[in-house]
Amino acid sequence: MDPEMDPEKEFRRQMLAEAHAERDRLLPLRAEATQTTIELMRASTGRTDEPDLVPYLNLTYLLTIKRAYGDDRLLAFALSLANWAVASIDELAKLTGASAQQIIDKYETEIMAAREAADEEPA
């Protein structure tokens, strides 16, 4: 098989080209998306002692953005939030001496345990 005709390679190339085009299209929204991310972080991080409340606060932000500004700003916000999450995990890994994968595994395990506990609660 000709390596240039590899369907997986072509798919990855197309996805990268699409991501690049979308990034360029959303770039003008970056400053506002970053500010919205900062506002969300300030509102939600102070509520981690109420873990059941945090998803509702976050969802309220997402719905407000989508309804008020549309899908493009929601996508720009999601991109900003994902970038912040990656940077935060990397920083936490550096501060704790753990790898980024270990940090992610820890939270994934906690989420799985919380789901199991919720499933075991009587209705």
pLDDT tens-place string over residues 37-69: 998 888 888 887 887 788 888 899 899 999 999
At 71-101, the pLDDT tens digits run 999 999 999 999 999 999 999 999 999 999 9
Which of the four pLDDT bands, split at 50, 70 and 90, describes residue 14? very high
Instruction: From residue 65, give the alpha-carbon distance in Å to each of 15, 34, 54.
Output: 26, 13, 17
Domain positions in the chain: 3-120
Residue the block writes with tokens 């799985």 = 112
**Rounded Cα distance, 114 and 97, in Å:** 26
Cα–chain-centroid distance for residue 117? Answer: 25
Check residue 1 and give its pLDDT.
52
Note the pTM of the prediction, 2 decimals.
0.75
